[in-house]
Amino acid sequence: MHEFGPFRYDEEQHLLFRSGEIVPLAPKAVDLLHILLKQRGRVIGKAELMKALWPDTVVEEVGLARNISLLRKALGDDDGECAHIETIPKRGYRFAAETKTARSRWIWWAAALLVLVSAGLVYWQFYKPSRFLSQQDGAPSLAVVPFECLSPELDRAVYSEGLNELIVADLLKLGGMNVVGPSTVRRHQKAGNSMGLMGRLLGLDVLVEGAIQKLGDQLRITARLVDVHTGKLIWSDCYSYPAAGWSLAQVEAAHAIAAQVGGHLAIHNRFPTASH
């Protein structure tokens, strides 16, 4: 199917339409249009056109000229408004008007459908909750980012990732919020995604982040609650514990941070009250 201006040419039926109405054309004029459209933009020699139109008959050039004239009249070329068929002196003819094909529109529709299907598959594969996860309307979604170790002597796996796991466990005990698993956070970190981008991709509301630092015989843990969309701080606090008792410090800090995060989200009317 070819469309140009008010015209539409149906290749299968060999019919020319203007504004939905059939344009009456002699069979050879239709064949001529078909050839010109199939090779639109290319100059086709007169001898080549005559051989294609009359493969088993010897005809004079006047026969071709007559059909060119009929076709131009049907297309309105003789009124001077538009030249669909261009004469190239001493060479032949070419279809010069811009055309679009119905096939191209179908390609666009197919591409759009493919994008929608792909988006649906991605959502089903990565974001659709399983039937085992209880969904709470209005409950905040969050992730705990492994706290940054600011002292070189601190073992990141012991201090940071361990604290991360404990905070997540305590938040889940509080309830009233949807918490992303630590392994998911680590995958995004390994992929090089910023935590802000991860939050947007996962549809999160807030992130829990912070830092751990050893100052003399004290272990100082700072925690922050950050809005995913603006990056602004919602809440922050600092906790100090004896460095010698780092294992107990992890547990106590996790309890305190989880309680403050849960309470802070609950007292804002945006989210439901966490259940204890």
- Span 110-120, average pLDDT: 75
Report yes or no: 272 and 248 within 8 Å, Cβ to Cβ: no
* pLDDT above 70 (res 259): yes
pLDDT in tens, 82-98: 689 999 998 999 998 88
For 39, 45, 87, the CA distances from 91, given in Å and listed in that order, are 15, 5, 8
DSSP 268: S
pLDDT in tens, 211-258: 999 999 999 999 999 999 899 999 999 999 998 888 899 999 999 999
Exposure on the CB side of residue 206, measured as CA atoms within 13 A: 21
Given a contact cutoff of 8 angstroms between Cβ atoms, the answer to whether 185 and 193 are in contact is no
At 206, is the secondary structure helix, strand, or coil? Answer: strand
Separation CA 199–CA 26 (nearest Å): 66
The pLDDT assigned to 148 comes to 92
Q: What is the mean pLDDT of residues 165-172?
A: 94
Taking all residues of the chain, what is their mean pLDDT, rounded to a whole number? 85
Is residue 52 within 8 A of residue 35, CB to CB? The reply is yes
How do residues 47-62 score in pLDDT, each as one tens digit? 999 999 999 888 889 9
**Beta-carbon contacts of residue 100 (< 8 Å; ≥ 6 apart):** 2, 3, 4
